Amino acid sequence: MQTAREPAFQDLVRRAVETGKFDVVQVWFESVVLDRYRGDPDSRIQRTNSAGRLRGPGGWMINFGISADDALIHIPIAASFGIPDGHRDHWLSHLVSLPVGTNFLRMTINPSACIDDGPSREW
């Protein structure tokens, strides 16, 4: 995954931090997450160059952004609440991230955990 400093994303995060409205912060998925819905007569996927909409079976709907190479889609984290329970594991299996410090994520999930992450040192 290539990283970039995107001014629009920086503005979005700045606004989220300043207002405390973190529900707009984006999460990314491989665009193949949508393959489950292609050919499903109860689903419909539409798009422009950089945005799309999935109307899933049963009438639920999610709007998403599309990366320039079509490899990824992204949604506000709050939009994930609109994904029905029976579809969430599928979506989570296609979730992608920037490179992360795995132990830091574990510490964030469980702050009282004892995790050996090596000696402390200057950086």
Q: Is residue 32 part of a domain?
A: yes
| Structural domain boundaries enclosing 65 | 7-109
Chain segment 17-70, per-residue pLDDT in tens: 999 999 999 999 999 999 999 999 999 999 999 999 999 999 999 999 999 999
Q: Is residue 116 part of a domain?
A: no
Q: Is residue 120 part of a domain?
A: no
Q: Is residue 121 part of a domain?
A: no
Percent of residues, the chain, with pLDDT higher than 90: 78
Q: Is residue 115 part of a domain?
A: no
Least Cα distance to 61 among 83, 36, 90, 88 occurs for 83
For the ranges 20-24, 53-57, 76-80, 97-101, the lowest mean pLDDT is seen at 97-101
| Overall average pLDDT of the 91-98 stretch | 96
Q: Is residue 79 part of a domain?
A: yes
pTM: 0.88
Q: Is residue 37 part of a domain?
A: yes
Q: Is residue 98 part of a domain?
A: yes
Overall number of domains in the chain = 1
